[in-house]
Amino acid sequence: MIVPIVSFNELSCSDWKHLPELVASGLNGRADVVFCTHLDQVSQGNTDQVETLAKAFWPRGALDTNRIIPFSSVMGLSVRDLLDRSQVAKPPFRAIWNQDSVGYHVRGLLFSIA
């Protein structure tokens, strides 16, 4: 299986738009899924970019954004950091609410949910 990887940062450029046809010609069909990196640099309410990717990779099918798997290595590191700090006991709030720490990227999202 070949899984194309596209960065949310690169969607404004046109280079990635050649990837769907390149993958399709190599596979004699369309990709099953697409990984999309740098989720932490995209506004959470913006689904336009995911829809753009879905339309490019599967132009003839129904719009299926579930086949786009967005992720962020920064958020992954942040989750691991939060789990490590919570292993023994709940850490003090000030210890985990530091915008300069890697862990802030997930904790900021968790604590800002209303």
Rounded to whole angstroms, how far apart are CA atoms 5 and 34? Answer: 6
Backbone torsions φ then ψ of 2, nearest 5 degrees: -110, 130
pLDDT of amino acid 55: 92
Assign 20 a pLDDT band (cuts: 50, 70, 90): very high
pLDDT digits (tens, 9 = 90+) for 88-105: 888 777 766 666 665 555
pLDDT digits (tens, 9 = 90+) for 38-82: 877 776 666 788 888 899 999 887 788 888 888 877 777 777 777
Would the pLDDT of 2 be above 90?
A: no
pLDDT of amino acid 101: 63
